[in-house]
Amino acid sequence: MKNAISWLSLIGLLALGTALLGWWAVPAIAAVYGFIFPERRHGLSTALASALAWGLLLAVTASQGPVLELAAKVAAVLTLPTAALFAVTLVFPALLAGSADELTAPVRKAALDRRDQPVATLY
């Protein structure tokens, strides 16, 4: 339950961060998340959370205007199938968030491990 709440909060944070700060917020928030919760193996779940966060923002944007029409036009400019543009839009934050999380979690874990070693070895 606690994990689910933390994960849902992550989705909310990623969405909010993107809306307020831009795409850079995604790796930054994921990195902080990985650093704060290093014990959990959550690279994939963080990636999924970021994809869902961007999906959520996309859904809100779609409620405000013709996202499908836009996707078709922009995808054609980029010579992509329309579905691929949606896919890239979801995969991009997932890669950012997953890798940032995976990068910082071991760093934190290593730091904690070092801190927890017995002080007696100094004698």
Fill in the DSSP letter of residue 122. G
Q: Which is nearer to another protein, 8 or 74 (CB)?
A: 74
Shortest separation between residue 120's beta carbon and another protein, angstroms: 23
**What's the rounded Cα separation, in Å, for the pair 49 and 7?**
7
Shortest separation between residue 59's beta carbon and another protein, angstroms: 9
The answer to whether the CB of 86 falls within 8 A of the CB of 15 is: no
What percentage of the chain's residues is helix, strand, coil (to nearest 5)?
A: 85, 0, 15
Q: Which is nearer to another protein, 4 or 67 (CB)?
A: 67
56: Cα within 13 Å, side-chain hemisphere: 17
Fill in the DSSP letter of residue 118. -
Q: Which is nearer to another protein, 8 or 113 (CB)?
A: 113
Distance between first and last Cα of the chain: 44
Site of interaction with another protein (CB under 8 A):
18-19, 22-24, 27, 43, 54-55, 57-58, 60-62, 64-67, 69-70, 72-78, 88-89, 92, 95-96, 98-100, 102-103, 106-107, 109-110
Shortest separation between residue 1's beta carbon and another protein, angstroms: 28
Fill in the DSSP letter of residue 95. H
Q: Which is nearer to another protein, 9 or 61 (CB)?
A: 61
Shortest separation between residue 37's beta carbon and another protein, angstroms: 16
